[in-house]
Amino acid sequence: MIKYLQESNEKGSTLIEIIVAVTLLSLMTIPFCGLFSQSVKSNRRTEEMMLATALAQDTIEELKSFSFEELLKKLTYQQKDIVKLDNYSFARSIKYLVKNENLLMITVTIKGDNQEVEVATYRGKY
C-alpha cells in the first residue's frame, strides 16, 4: 500500500502545483485583457470619427449641388438636426457665412459622443 501511494505521488500533480500553475497563467493573461479592452474602445472611437467625417463630407457635397442663390436663401437660419447612423447618434449643424457678395462659406459640424468634426467649403457665384 505504501508503495502504491509513492508511485501515484510521483506520476500525478498535487493540488498545490495546479493552483500555482493556474495562478501563473492568470497573472500572465490579465494584462492582455486590459490591452484588448483598450483596443475595443480605440476601435469604437475611430469608427465614430470615420462615420462623422463621412457624414460631414456627404453633407458638404449635397450643399455644393445647390446654386449660389439657393444657398443664400438658407442664410436666414442655422440648420441643426440629429442624425442616426449605424449604432451612433450625431448632432449636425450647418452654418452659412457671407464672405462678400460673391462668396459664401459653408461649415458643417458633426458632434458625436467622443469627438467633433468640422468641415468647411466655399461656394462662389459664377
The CATH number of residue 62's host domain is 3.30.1300.30
Q: Nearest-CA neighbor of 59 among 81, 43, 40?
A: 81
**DSSP labels, 7-38:** HHHHHS--HHHHHHHHHHHHHHHHHHHHHHHH
4-25 residue pLDDT tens: 555 555 566 788 989 999 999 9
Q: Identify the domain containing residue 93 by its residue range.
A: 2-124
* Cβ pair 113, 91 in contact under 8 A: no
Count of domains for the chain: 1
* pTM as predicted: 0.71
d(C-alpha 86, C-alpha 54), whole Å = 13
83-118 residue pLDDT tens: 998 889 999 999 998 888 899 999 999 999 888 999
- For the beta sheet containing 103-111, the strands, ordered from the edge strand earlier in sequence to the opposite edge, are 79-85, 88-100, 103-111, 116-124
d(C-alpha 121, C-alpha 95), whole Å = 11
Q: Nearest-CA neighbor of 48 among 115, 126, 103?
A: 115
